[in-house]
Amino acid sequence: MRSGALCAFLAGAVWLSAAPVKAPFTFDAMMRIARIDDPQLSPDGKTVAFTVQTVDMPNNTKPAQIYVVPVDGGAPAKQITSEGMTNVRPRWMPDSKRILFVSDRVNGSQIWSMNPDGTDAKELTNLPTGADGVTVSPDGKLILFTSDVYPGCSAANAAPGVGYDAACNKSKFDADSASKMHARVFHALFYRHWTQYQGNRRQHLLIQSIDGAAGVRDLTPGDLNTPPFSLGSLEAYAFSPDSTQVTYVANTDPDLATSTNSDLFTVPAAGGPAKRITTNPGADEGPVYSPDGKYLAYRTQQRGGYESDQWRLAIMDLESGQVNTLADSLDRWVESYTWSHDSKRIFFTTDDHGTNPLLMIPVTGGSIRTIAQGPTSVGSVQFTSDDKTMIFSEQSGSRPAEIMKAESKGGNGVALTHLNDALLDSYALTPLERISVDGADGAKIESVVVKPPGFNPANKYPVLFAIHGGPEGDWGESWSYRWNAQVFAGSGYVVVLPNPHGSTGYGQNFTDAVNGDWGGRAYDDIMATVDYVSNLPYVDKDRMAAAGASYGGYMIDWILGHTDRFRALVSHAGVFDLRSEMGTTEELWFPKWEFQGFYWENSEQYEKWSPSSYVKNFKTPTLVTHGEIDFRVPIGQGQQLFTALQENKVPSKMVQFPDEGHWILKPQNSQFWYATVIDWLNQYTKPIPDVPKSSAAN
């Protein structure tokens, strides 16, 4: 690929119509967007299959279906599935004549096969424990997938490749479903995660022939979830090019609650003992074989127990076992990667100042070449067999993901999907702008700014500062449905999204600076940004509000105890009391790293940086929102905050969602959340309150 093809496209892309009158972007408009994901290029290079999730507000569901679009652009995208609520993960057979996919149309989640036009759908699995995550072998003879099985249905010390006992699994599944006793008994930590408690089942990797004639085999028997929860979003298992081996991710540490030490293992596809091939103390994930089978690419972190260590691109020579890390000179996290068909180069994306540029490096190392870098984020990169056409997804802060193609011969990139064009062209979507201020330690602190539609610099606008989570996260050119800046801007706010110390995309030292310093540099950076923004001629400094979730919620709680410059605050799933948070969260590696030990080992850190230590300073009206099945930041954090606000007579409101976790995902819950947040902000910023904040009406 020549870099000019995509660079020219990214530099010249014009997403917004010049029409003089457009409606402000709203939550209802956002819910009508077709959410495009998981593009998969057919081996013959002619067709892209992908998933589209839509929102059914009346039924409070988000059905997902599979579409196809020709690479030559000769026809619009076509929906090819309709049965069932969920049809996802399209994966092509090597001859491009069939598509494998996961569907819930019959017998729960199972693996299916169909023609590229959606006809002749056939069920390939019928497991009582379901099937998901299908991958097809390069020779087209095998399928690899996951299932939550009962490990006791195979001998505890059985060799990988033992048969899947359908009768045993069904018997136990039926017994669990029929039981009226629901006590949970645990003997070790990590007994719950995200929104679910661990029951009697474990996720395993299963394998079978396409025709199912030889039965289903369990490649990863035992009491572990394999693959485990991933710190990233990459594939956790892969076939070797000759279809004889499977490489997968597993974490075998005895204390999973404090460990990020996932490693890569290989196992014969025909069954046999598994072999650990990485011993790095940090996380290893995302195995991708080179087409010639000589190398294995993956992401690796050097420091164990630190989920936000730099993600490095590693290349293992499979014959010698030697590992080289590439692109370390960039000091940026590697996000995704793909091989050239000649196995000589690897293309990868990084997290850089809120964008995801595409870069290329030889497999042996050397100079890095920029393929695409612009005001957007690129992902899901795939090449045709001649490496002359590239398929990719692209998104920005003012445009949801679309599937694109670019040609190596030059010229602009071309959009293959247009499912949202008509909808988005009728709304005012504001391009992101950037500002920079001097923050803590003299660092330049960038923020993204989204102005309201019809912006007039002669007017004075209220401001919403949105604080990102993590704390090792960032704001940038990506489209969000949970915290959509365009919706808040459409409500009349100048939206400012700062990237303080701790943010990713600015170098690992900048990210590490938040460790053990949660309310320090990051708070100073945010307040320096507030100082700058409050002096902008179009900003009303008396009508500023702030909101955040997770660590962003923590920062709102911290702001409560350290400044009264804001008219209103919104804390979603925020950490309020560090000591009780450490004792109730599931991923214990996180507080252990961030605060250099547990609270009984480093009580001063927990006391110093806990917002609960500064309750007597709370004055600002605050909305508290929280999911009741949030195990990352348990509901007690929000409840403690609300108690402190109420008992100190601070105007406040709490909204709990019984069926939500860390994120508010169900359509009608999301609708209520956005409406409640915007109403709360409007109450204190529109019009200008004529009473002091500390005595404002609730």
pLDDT by residue (tens digit) across 66-109?
999 999 988 899 999 999 999 999 999 999 999 999 999 999 99
Q: Which of 2-6, 266-270, 481-485 has the lowest mean pLDDT?
A: 2-6
Does residue 8 register a pLDDT over 50?
no
696 has pLDDT over 60:
no
Q: What is the mean pLDDT of residues 651-661?
A: 98
- Structure pTM? 0.94
Please report the beta strands in 305-454, taking only residues with DSSP state E, as ranges in sequence order: 312-317, 323-326, 334-339, 345-350, 358-362, 369-372, 377-383, 389-396, 399-407, 414-415, 427-428, 433-438, 444-450
Average pLDDT, the chain: 93
Instruction: State the pLDDT confidence band at 477, using cuts at 50, 70 and 90.
Output: very high
Closest alpha carbon to 588 in 291, 189, 309: 189
582-634 pLDDT per residue, tens: 999 999 999 999 999 999 999 999 999 999 999 999 999 999 999 999 999 99
Per-residue confidence (pLDDT) for residue 162, from 0 to 100: 81
Is the pLDDT assigned to residue 157 strictly greater than 70? no
Tokens of residue 179, six digits: 């039981």
| pLDDT above 50 (res 151) | yes
* CATH code that applies to domain 430-689: 3.40.50.1820
DSSP per-residue codes, 621-644: -EEEEEETT-SSS-HHHHHHHHHH
Burial class (CB in 10 A: 0-12, 13-18, 19+), 681: buried
Say how many C-beta atoms besides its own lie within 10 A of residue 661's C-beta.
20
Share of the chain above pLDDT 70, in %: 94
Nearest Cα residue to 477 out of 354, 580, 565, 590? 354
pLDDT over 70 at 692, yes or no: no
Q: What are phi and psi of 23, to 5 degrees?
A: -75, 150
pLDDT (mean) for 159-176:
88
More confident site: 413 or 300:
300
Buried b (16+ CB within 10 A) or exposed e, 470-505: bbbbbbbbbbebebbbbbbbbbbbbbbbbbbbbbbb
Task: Determine the Cα–Cα distance for residues 433 and 326; give it in Å rounded to an integer.
Answer: 32
Q: Is the peptide bond before 20 cis (omega within 30 degrees of 0)?
A: no
Contact 67, 77 (CB under 8 A): yes
Q: Which of 69-73, 495-499, 536-540, 608-612 has the lowest mean pLDDT?
A: 69-73
The whole-angstrom separation of Cα 610 and Cα 594 is 13
Q: How many secondary structure helices (H) and strands (E) does the chain include?
A: 13, 41
Taking residues 449-466, report their average pLDDT: 97
